[in-house]
A and B are shown apart, each in its own frame.
Chain A
Amino acid sequence: MSCFNSFAMRRLAKVAFLTCLGVAVNACGDLSAIELTETASSQKAWTDVADLVRSADADLRAVGIDRVREGLVGESFTRQAADLLSALPADAQVALLAALAGRGDPAAVPAVGRLADAATDPAVRGSALKALATLGGAAEVPILVKALAVEPVKATARKALVEIRGDGVTSAIAAAAGAADPGVRALLVDALTDRRERAAMPGLLAAIGDADGGVRQAGIRGLTRLGGPDELTVLVDEFLKSSGDDRKALEQAVVGVCSVNRGKERATPLLLARFTAAADDARDALLPVLARLGDPQTMRVIDGMIADPIQRRRGLEALAKWPDATVADRLLDLFSKTTEEGEKALLLGALIRVSPLPDNKLNDSQKLELVKRTMGLCQRNEDKVKLIERANAIRTIETLRFVVPFLDQPELAEPACLSVVELAHHQKLRDANKAEFTTALDKVLGITKNEELVERATRYKAGQTWDRNKKS
């Protein structure tokens, strides 16, 4: 559009210039004269460009292809350039397709679409698919969908389905998903998700009820990312009907809709209302989901259940899923009052999980204090191991001082080594307490049999860094 405007502006400027010179300008007649002149000159330029594009000389061909991308404005030239595609060798086709995509004129779509649909060379077909993503619209969706079944260009086609724009594209992809084989259907549902458009919702909702597990999981993935309050009812229905992996994924989706996604503040009350109105078995299923959201109204329900001997166990299980340490006092109180081993284990597991959580519910000192109190409740080494390993999330020198004594207990020494090294990973903390860390790291080096910890401890002692990403 800008090129056209620029062209039109130049033509108008020429007419104005002729008028200024005193030439009696009949607008239509003189514009035609100008057009004829330009057409002749530009047609010569096009002949040159076509020769260059067809040239066997790579440098000259590059000049021609650059002009296809940047010059010769107009649909007519676009079509002529696109028509060159069929007679070119593969490498030139790839370059010309990229240039046509850069040119951005949909007039090239028919020729580009033919290669995207049927080119035998994967590089050519891939380039054509990329170009279609830029130039095409809803009508080209079937070509991209077809290419999803062709292994060498599958990834390119999927990316193109995410990138292609235009009215009706998302609906066309959803319609194609409804008719495709399960493998392709799952890819299309993922593409719908990656497009991040509300128009994708019907397709995603249809997918979570699909007979194929892969498609269902793709639909759930999509709704986990994009779902809002409007999708909650269907999500909960499916959650209550589901089992196994689907149930876990759907629970994650409901939590995502209520705690992360747009409209979350409307979604949680809806879920609570659904819970309140549900039958007992549905309430049992929904309570842990609500608990993971940490909503105050849910706590009232949980308190009521814990007070009822029949519902107590389910109430405790829900409490154990609470997302943060604001329930620490409740957990400690319940732990101190119960004598039932199963309840103790459940509550202790929750304390071990929430006490060092890196959220802002408690400050570092409060977190460490809770960790220490929890450690005092641990009887089994496996619980102590978990707590020592999790404690390093509290990045303070006091945590190091808490962990170091466990280096002397053989059964807890390895997790303690891990936590010392993890704390030492943080350079500011390490540098501010160099002497203490050096002593602790020396001790780690004398204890651990873990080669990675030895390497890390050695590097930290020498003031060096360690890249987690290079671990593998």
Chain B
Amino acid sequence: MAIDSKNLDDSFAALAAFDWGKDAAPLAAIDAAVIATRGDAALRADLEKRLGAVLSSAASRAAKDYACRKLSIIGTAASVPVAAALLSDADNSHMARYALQRIGGPEARTALRKALETVGGELAIGMISSLADLADAGSVPQLAKLLTADGPLALAAARALGRIPTSESAAALAGAKVGGEVGRAVKDSQLSIAESRLAAGDRAGALALYEAVSKEVGEVPAGHRDRDVRVAAIRGMVVTRDETSST
């Protein structure tokens, strides 16, 4: 399907003035171009550049939302800087992460890690969530430090570490001196990592984690949550030791 340049230009002009509540039909040429440029690196690079330019412009939040959605499909490392620039913008941070997560790659991960250093509050929790979705091993030291941060950040970091099944994250969780809700999230994450290890065939690694968690909660757990953790750990130990069954 050939691209009609005039239509595409009109569509980008409409995107520049687009907002929620307006007719989205004029944007159809961009949707079509996303499909039509498949397999044509040059045309796609041009389309990516024009969409990226929308992110850098004074366009509305709706227009940037649209551009991010398209970049999540066709975006490459070239779009990371313009998307990353929106990570600290409360209105656009979420959609920028949406695009960056799907673009992926070391550039996107680095951008998210850098943003985690600079943004705070809910935006930081968003960065943590995206890094966990990308199972970004490089973010483990940052996440480990956050285990002792304020409540919601520490909780997000504890849960994120459970989704990054590396030795480093397991060590960070094991060394965490935290209690309460964060402490319980730490144990849940330790169990998650153990499950991942077992699924990957690392029985010894999984068993060590299950045993550590079981030992930590003790034979007489303090509350029902710890009791659940103990039952899960014991189950994990039995499954891990059973070499007759597939994991």
- Chain A: residues with CB nearer than 8 A to chain B? 3, 6-7, 10, 37-38, 41-42, 44-46, 48-49, 52, 59-60, 63-64, 66-67, 70-74, 77
By Cβ-Cβ distance, the 3 closest A-B pairs, closest first, are A45-B241, A73-B244, A45-B242
User: Which of A45, A49, A52, A60 has the most chain B CB within a 10 Å cutoff?
Assistant: A45
Q: How far is the CB of A10 from chain B (nearest CB, A)?
A: 7
The docked-state distance in angstroms from the alpha carbon of A71 to that of B242 is: 7
B238 within 8 A of A: yes
> Which A residues lie within 8 Å of B33 (CB)?
none
Q: List 18 A-B contacts (CB under 8 A).
A: A7-B244, A38-B243, A42-B241, A42-B242, A45-B238, A48-B238, A52-B234, A59-B231, A63-B234, A63-B238, A66-B235, A67-B235, A67-B239, A67-B242, A71-B239, A71-B242, A71-B245, A72-B244
Contact with A along B92-110 (1 / 0, CB 8 A): 0000000000000000000
Out of A10, A38, A60, name the residue touching B234 (CB < 8 Å): A60
The docked-state distance in angstroms from the alpha carbon of A74 to that of B243 is: 11
Q: Are A52 and B238 in contact (CB under 8 A)?
A: yes
The docked-state distance in angstroms from the alpha carbon of A44 to that of B239 is: 11
Contact A71 to B238, CB < 8 A, known contacts A10-B246, A38-B243? yes
The docked-state distance in angstroms from the alpha carbon of A63 to that of B244 is: 17
Out of B227, B234, B235, B245, name the residue touching A72 (CB < 8 Å): B245
Q: Are B246 and A6 in contact (CB under 8 A)?
A: yes
User: Which of B231, B239, B241 has the most chain A CB within a 10 Å cutoff?
Assistant: B241
Q: Are B241 and A48 in contact (CB under 8 A)?
A: yes
The docked-state distance in angstroms from the alpha carbon of A64 to that of B238 is: 9
The docked-state distance in angstroms from the alpha carbon of A372 to that of B243 is: 80
Shortest Cβ distance from A49 into B: residue: B238
B237 within 8 A of A: yes
> Which A residues lie within 8 Å of B238 (CB)?
45, 48-49, 52, 63-64, 67, 71
> Which A residues lie within 8 Å of B246 (CB)?
6, 10
Q: Are A63 and B235 in contact (CB under 8 A)?
A: yes
Known: A67-B235, A72-B245. 12 other contacts (CB 8 A): A7-B244, A38-B243, A41-B241, A42-B243, A45-B238, A45-B242, A52-B238, A60-B234, A63-B234, A63-B238, A66-B235, A72-B244
User: Which of B227, B235, B244, B246 has the most chain A CB within a 10 Å cutoff?
Assistant: B244
